[in-house]
Chain A
Amino acid sequence: MSGEVLLRATDVVKTFTSRGKKLGARNVATAVNGVSLEVRRGETLGIVGESGCGKSTLARCLVQLLPVTSGSVEFRGVELTGLSRRQLRPHRREMQLVFQDPYASLNPRRTVGDIVADPMRINKIGSDQEIGDRVRDLFVTVGLDPASIRRYPHEFSGGQRQRIGIARSLSLNPSLVVADEPVSALDVSVQAQVLNLMADLQESLQLTYLFIAHDLGVVRHVSDRVGVMYLGEIVELGDAEGIYGSPLHPYTEALLSVVPELNDTDAPRRERILITGDVPDPSARPDGCSFHPRCPVATDECRTLKPPLIELRPGRFVACHHPRNID
């Protein structure tokens, strides 16, 4: 894997303001709170976290579907924040999205062939003939019958629809594909088909993936590197093997310990670390470390001082005063 950085986010913050409980009051929720990361060409960076941790908001900020509140997003060395829609267009071609819900993300009134052709038509790439050929090629690439291009989304199963969504995302030959929970709506046997397809496409088309999911097994399976999010922040980032093998952050450690696993070997099971309580409201963040109210090893320091994300080992970043599993 080359080290070239395709996408670099620095201290990205996204807040949402809503009406507060009292008249005139404002309620500010910080969905993404100072995230910095790099996506390198050819790799898969997985972002994992529980619902409400800001992983989807982060993805939308990175591809400029949502304007960031502050911070910088560079794509191939070009700063994207602050660009106009027109200025963004050539960069948008290079980063495409695959969405979670294959039912909601395809227009039910357009044929699937049109759905896949639209990005090319909008960007005025090729003649009708060329676009038609490309659509048929894409259908073959993602394992669909090219004879079905005149059919409508409701005629396809969930897994087939997700293949259509993937074909659409590939139509402009992007270098970066951002997949937001692409398999969470699918049954496990269909999920496996789509994950294998994405792996094959990455190899044959040299794609870079930013893969967002809540399922820890799926993220381990697809990712070279993994970022773990909690309450809008990346609490741990590093190579997948390292993070799953010896997590440094107590949240990562607890998260991995509670995933239900098949007992198909005699290997001793991880001891379950149950963390109590619920994720705090992002409009009322705890002082100090965001995780301290639920952390089993929190100290006074954690209650007052926010730990920065530091590189504890080469390539392994963690935001914790008391990292785990360091000998």
Chain B
Amino acid sequence: MPDDPTSTEAVLSVRDLKVSFATRQGELRAVDGLSFDVGSKEVLGIVGESGSGKSVAMYSMLGLVRDSNVTISGSVKFEGREILGLGDKEMQSVRGGDVGMIFQDPMTALTPVYTVGWQIVEQIRAHTDLTKAQAKARAVELLGEVGIPNPQRRAGQFPHEFSGGMRQRVVIAMALSCNPRLLIADEPTTALDVTTQAQILDLMEKLQQSYGSSIVIITHDMGVIAEMADRVVVMYAGRPAEIGPELEVVRFPRHPYTWGLLGAVPRVDSKNTRLVTIPGVSVSPLDVPDGCAFAPRCEHRMAICDERPALLGDGEHVDACWLSDAQRVAIRSGSKTSGGRP
């Protein structure tokens, strides 16, 4: 949405991000033209299956992809300032300070050889002028805020003494330690059980309200998106297939890939019906077609699909597909699930 009028107040503004790796088999296009904005206090969900480029996109914009074979282009503005291509020093002040991060696996995100209190203090001291004692007090306060009982004692313990859910709370405490204006959460609940996931999502929601941060949540689970996100980006093969408000995308999905993705989820709240499947497997990022990336698996493929479709639509809700509105209504009215807009 390059002409989006709200883009001036966006916390994060990404334009035409491309990440590719030179490999022996040729150019691997991991992210291929991704653009989106994250507004103030907004929760943006990025959903896609493995290999869709959702994590690489986030890591590359934060300078965390350090492969000598990588080429990154495009523009990433954080609060109006271009951060793509910043030097290590400058990037370090952004990362962990104004931009907090929550990773998928809370065991590998924490170092096993230091106490969790030490790890939080280190991060606070790297980004603020607080003294050691002040930072320590803040660390204990944070552990309490994320719902860890007995934070004073727990701060002196090592990661292995915490359960998975408790470890993820520590990672969240760390991410929040410098009052970030943007929080990037990469599959924050994937490694957790469903009851623990509910606790963590609940916590993230509460903290988002009290800290007023914007959140980018990366996940493969449409349910988590429905629970958390205001807007959603559906990614396929490194490209955005559909972008729109969460309710719009879930109820009136426009892109055939989104139709498949939503129909493939077995439901807790309804009776057994046959699952919708998407034939074939995800396209290899080594040979993404020049036209529509989804075309080889799409049941509604047309001749024009050899050309790459642009992200178009009405207002906030856009998608990259050549099908006309009339065609979509005709296709969707034939299917059982929630159809296209009447």
Contact = CB atoms under 8 A, between A and B. Distances in A.
Given A217-B265, A272-B198, A265 B281 contact: no
Contacts of B193: 50-51, 214, 279
Given A189-B264, A214-B194, A261-B267, 12 more contacts: A187-B49, A190-B281, A193-B277, A195-B266, A195-B275, A199-B274, A218-B266, A220-B268, A221-B267, A261-B269, A262-B250, A279-B193
Contacts of B276: 192
7 contacts: A188-B222, A196-B275, A214-B193, A262-B250, A263-B246, A264-B337, A278-B163
B160 to A, nearest CB: 14
B278 interface: yes
A157 interface: yes
Looking at B165, B261, B269, the one whose CB has the most chain A CB atoms below 10 A away is: B269
Contacts of A196: 274-275, 277
B275 A264 contact: no
Interface of A: 50-51, 157, 159-160, 187-193, 195-196, 199, 214-218, 220-222, 241, 244, 254-256, 258-265, 267, 270, 272, 274-276, 278-279
B43 interface: no
Contacts of A274: 195, 198-199, 202
B261 to A, nearest CB: 7
Interface in B225-262: 226-227, 246-247, 250-251, 260-262
Contacts of B165: 278
Contact of A215 (B227, B251, B266, B271): B266
Q: What is the size category of the interface that chain B forms with chain A?
A: 35 or more
A191 B277 CA distance: 9
Given A50-B193, A278-B163, A159 B275 contact: no
B271 A260 contact: no
Interface of B: 49-50, 163, 165-166, 193-199, 201-202, 220-224, 226-227, 246-247, 250-251, 260-269, 271-272, 274-278, 281-282, 337-338
A262 B195 contact: no
Contact of B267 (A51, A217, A270): A217
A102 to B, nearest CB: 13
B197 A258 contact: yes
Contact of B226 (A187, A263, A267): A263
Contacts of B224: 260
A259 B223 contact: yes
Nearest to A258: B198
10 closest residue pairs by CB, A with B: A260-B223, A258-B198, A221-B266, A192-B264, A192-B275, A217-B266, A50-B193, A187-B49, A260-B227, A189-B278
Nearest to B162: A278
B236 to A, nearest CB: 10
Contact of B261 (A188, A222, A254, A264): A188
A33 B217 CA distance: 39
A259 B194 contact: yes
Given A188-B265, A220-B268, A258 B194 contact: yes
A139 to B, nearest CB: 17
Contacts of B262: 262, 264
Contacts of A187: 49-50, 220, 282
A264 B266 contact: no
A226 to B, nearest CB: 11
A192 B263 CA distance: 9
Contacts of B163: 278
B222 to A, nearest CB: 6
B281 A188 contact: no
Nearest to B267: A217
Given A261-B268, A263-B226, A188 B195 contact: no
B25 to A, nearest CB: 15
Contact of B275 (A215, A221, A256, A275): A221
